[in-house]
Amino acid sequence: MAATANQGRQPGTNSTTTTTTSNARSPTIWASPAILQNGTLFYIAISISTLLWCTGKTVDMTLDQQERQAELLARR
């Protein structure tokens, strides 16, 4: 009779299904400090980027001024 009870089902399946309801996760090794969660890191990154851009712009303007002065002295 057991053979007729499994007719119509896929081979290897049981008549009852088991589900696990435990949502327990293993502890993660990644730290999540507040600076990564509240957007402070974004403002720090923008500030550093702006500082580097201003520094580069200042160096570029200074070099351009030096080049212009050198060309003027070379033409005299």
Which residue has 């212009």 as its token pair? Answer: 68
Work out the mean pLDDT of the chain and round it to a whole number: 80
Helices (H), 1-76: 2-5, 34-37, 40-75
Who contacts 53 (Cβ-Cβ below 8 Å, separation ≥6)? Answer: none
Q: Return the domain boundaries, the chain.
A: 36-76
Per-residue pLDDT, averaged over 33-57, amounts to: 91
Alpha-carbon distance of 32 to 29, in angstroms, equals 10
**Among 23-32, 34-43, 45-54, 58-67, which stretch is predicted with the lowest mean pLDDT?**
23-32
Does the pLDDT at position 41 exceed 70? yes
For residue 14, the one-letter residue type is N
For 20-34, what is each residue's pLDDT tens digit?
566 777 776 677 777
Does the pLDDT at position 56 exceed 60? yes
Give the pair of three-digit tokens for residue 26. Answer: 């293993």
